Chains A and B, each alone.
Chain A
């Protein structure tokens, strides 16, 4: 085999992994948008209305919300990379099953490793980690983005969307924990003297409907600042 044809095979191989061969800088403007867009303009929860279920379930306290956000960042980053690597090999007809298997095995892997090496974190998190499998944002990004984009861009997209999801989780949990139990991250922040004056924690804040209302208020606030999100008609 001549040298030249060898080269062309190599080139073909690498273009399977990285479509943009024009040496685009890693954090070009186009790539940075992948990270920042989901935080506001294209937020998975408040704009795309995905992942609402877990946003209601685990925002009673700040700590689980933070930990859940971090785990989703890890799982989404990793599964987006894997699916993007396999995107030219996955048969179209079973792609959803493949995505599900990738996400589920990532989650089980994280769960097992935590159980062995970070048992306290595992105990805190194990139920939430299981919940990640059912998080529609993960599958949504695999299907909508990772299947059609190169590895680096998919990675950024995964991290960005997970961060957008985490942002809402943390904002909602902040208000729910503060007004629901007078604490932040488990520490009492509303002093005893305020309670002596007749202040009471709002028990309604602890129940799921208030999460939905806080998300609603957030959407209202977001759209009043960011006019282009308002639908015409």
Chain B
């Protein structure tokens, strides 16, 4: 067989593309339900973790139903829009819509009679997207817990934002200053409080070598929380 002829080359290429494409398409579609299930349970797991409940992925669903009392999505003006399920909102798609079409999910959790507001976050790190969830106490100001994850930050540097020690720095930090303005949390390289004892300074210590990821975290918190101001203002009246 002449493997150098044009017709053989074309035939080989066509056959190869067919075989590879159908193998990959078959694998992807037959594994899809299992994969989606993993993603869904991981989301529940993440939301639970912000309110201090650590669970395995398999146990997440049960605890989620137990602790998450309400889920709803808000429009730009802070009104609840019942037509959109909060859990199914994917911020990756949502933030690309015009602001008036965007919906902002809120999860209300209850642990030992304490009420928490869990809000999903999404922003940009150095290489790719970063995201997370923040749980606020009933004053809608103090952070009860926060978690971050990332797609492609550098291991050992930016990727450290998904580590417990970094997320613990945010605990009990305040989002609003005394005048009630939203200032967010600054991941700061010039933090005067490296032991993080001052919980009212709106600052946490940055990670060396991960300046841009840290700035991304600060920006993400401020940007996402801004959209919830109308809702919080309504609650306070």
Contact = CB atoms under 8 A, between A and B. Distances in A.
Are chains A and B native binding partners rather than an unrelated pairing? Answer: yes
Contacts, number: 73
Contacts of B24: 105, 108-109, 112
Nearest to B162: A123
Nearest to B207: A206
B211 to A, nearest CB: 12
Chain A binding site: helix, strand, loop or mixed by DSSP? helix
Nearest to A181: B156
Interface string B1-32: 00110001100110011001001100110010
Given A105-B23, A105-B24, A206-B157, A119 B38 contact: yes
Nearest to A201: B208
B97 interface: no
Contacts of A180: 156
A90 B57 CA distance: 45
Interface in B139-181: 151-152, 154-157
Contacts of A93: 4, 9
A212 to B, nearest CB: 16
A158 to B, nearest CB: 19
A101 B155 contact: no
Contacts of B155: 58, 60-61, 64
A92 B8 CA distance: 11
B196 to A, nearest CB: 17
Contacts of B156: 60-61, 176-177, 180-181, 206
Interface string B201-237: 0000000110000000000000000000000000000
Given A93-B4, A98-B16, A115 B38 contact: yes
A115 B31 CA distance: 9
A230 interface: no
B191 to A, nearest CB: 16
A207 interface: yes
A116 B8 contact: no
Interface in A99-134: 101, 105, 108-109, 112-113, 115-117, 119-120, 127
B35 interface: yes
Contacts of A97: 13
Contact of A91 (B9, B23, B208): B9
B42 interface: yes
B34 interface: yes
A191 interface: no
A1 interface: no
A112 B30 CA distance: 10
A32 B8 CA distance: 37
A198 interface: no
A9 interface: no
Contact of A94 (B9, B35, B42, B208): B9
A25 interface: no
B55 to A, nearest CB: 14
A109 B38 CA distance: 17
A112 B27 CA distance: 7
Contact of B157 (A60, A109, A117, A177): A60
Interface of A: 57-58, 60-61, 64, 88-94, 97-98, 101, 105, 108-109, 112-113, 115-117, 119-120, 127, 176-177, 180-181, 203, 206-207
26 contacts: A57-B154, A58-B155, A61-B155, A89-B3, A89-B12, A91-B9, A94-B9, A94-B12, A94-B13, A98-B12, A101-B20, A105-B20, A105-B24, A109-B23, A112-B28, A112-B31, A113-B27, A113-B31, A115-B31, A116-B31, A119-B35, A120-B57, A177-B156, A181-B156, A203-B208, A207-B209
Interface of B: 3-4, 8-9, 12-13, 16-17, 20, 23-24, 27-28, 31, 34-35, 38, 42, 57, 151-152, 154-157, 208-209
